[in-house]
């Protein structure tokens, strides 16, 4: 077992405040959508959102990721205005109730990101990595906002038509190098990369990506892994997203071993426990070598 590049710390600046985390952290998913692939992640009203947020924070979430646009294949298209309506009131209410908790807006639209940041959001989580709306880089830079840059080809509607790669890992590293440079040229200071499990990748490609996750160390950016209850788990196990918690935890442990510093999940408690066990294993391993 080798030490990972990012095992010592994770730090980023949110609106002038430096946030430092000595260990991997958990991002909890809250979907203000009627059609996200995992039903229990959806919230339909403010009361439900506040209850879910409090529960996730109590279970160990450091970031709450609020989304108003489902990115699953075949999801219904929504306008910018509807996406804003779905998310802004939730962000305002959660930030008021939990002011110390970091909130991420899950969007690829710069207008939605801007409104979210104005109303309490701290990070931008962009599934398109700036490809669908490059102005989102400017929004992140102007608001001193950490930016999560994910890999995807095409759009959520057609991404599974774009799964052909000359070399999966080399193609992804090239993509990140190009998009990171664009973001940094726009003035974005803190960039987190997300390889995009389930986006524009076949089942086998997802597992190949997980097994080689440490290849992204070359980019010298913190790494987020979003594996929670995805089809690579339930299709492999011939089950459903509802029955994929155990599989999620198993793959999260592999992601942690290979350098992930943020786990984006539906089930915060299980992910928080996985991190605790991962840290214990690392500590004992280091002591045994001393």
- Catalytic residue list: 230, 264
Spatial separation of the C-alpha atoms in residues 125 and 38, rounded to whole Å: 19
**Long-range residue pairs from 153-160, CB within 8 A, at least 24 positions apart, any chain:** 153/199, 153/200, 154/200, 155/128, 156/70, 156/71, 156/72, 156/73, 156/75, 156/127, 156/199, 157/73, 157/74, 157/75, 157/77, 159/73, 159/199, 159/200, 160/73, 160/200
From the CB of residue 277, how many other CB atoms can be counted at a distance below 10 Å? 12
Largest CA distance in the chain: 58
For the CA atoms of 271, 240, 213, 290, the dihedral, rounded to the nearest 10 degrees, stands at: 40
Backbone dihedral region for residue 49 (phi beyond 0: left; psi -120 to 50: alpha; all else: beta): alpha
User: CA angle at residue 279 from 278 to 283, to 5 degrees?
Assistant: 120
């Amino acid at each position: 077992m080798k030490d990972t590049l990012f095992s010592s710390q994770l730090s980023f600046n949110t609106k002038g405040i430096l946030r430092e985390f000595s260990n991997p952290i958990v991002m909890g998913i809250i979907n203000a959508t009627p059609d996200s692939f995992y039903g229990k992640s959806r919230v339909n009203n403010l009361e439900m959102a506040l209850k879910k947020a409090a529960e996730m924070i109590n279970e160990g979430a450091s970031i709450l990721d609020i989304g108003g646009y489902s990115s699953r294949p075949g999801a219904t298209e929504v306008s910018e205005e509807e996406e804003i309506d779905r998310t802004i009131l939730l962000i305002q209410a959660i930030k008021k109730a939990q002011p110390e908790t970091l909130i991420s807006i899950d969007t690829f639209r710069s207008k939605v990101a801007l409104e979210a940041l104005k109303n309490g959001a701290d990070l931008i989580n962009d599934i398109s990595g700036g490809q669908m709306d490059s102005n989102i880089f400017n929004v992140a830079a102007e608001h001193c906002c950490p930016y999560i840059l994910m890999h995807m080809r095409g759009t959520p509607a057609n991404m599974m038509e774009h799964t052909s790669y000359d070399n999966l890992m080399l193609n992804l590293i090239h993509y990140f190098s190009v998009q990171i440079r664009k973001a940094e040229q726009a003035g974005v200071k803190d960039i987190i990369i997300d390889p995009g499990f389930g986006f524009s990748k076949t089942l086998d490609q997802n597992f190949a990506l997980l097994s080689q996750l440490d290849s992204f160390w070359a980019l010298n950016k913190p790494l987020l892994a979003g594996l929670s209850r995805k089809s690579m788990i339930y299709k492999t196990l011939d089950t459903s997203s509802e029955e994929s918690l155990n599989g999620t935890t198993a793959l999260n442990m592999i992601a942690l071993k290979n350098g992930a510093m943020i786990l984006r999940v539906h089930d915060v408690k299980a992910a928080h426990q996985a991190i605790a066990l991962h840290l214990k294993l690392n500590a004992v391993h280091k002591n045994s070598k001393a």
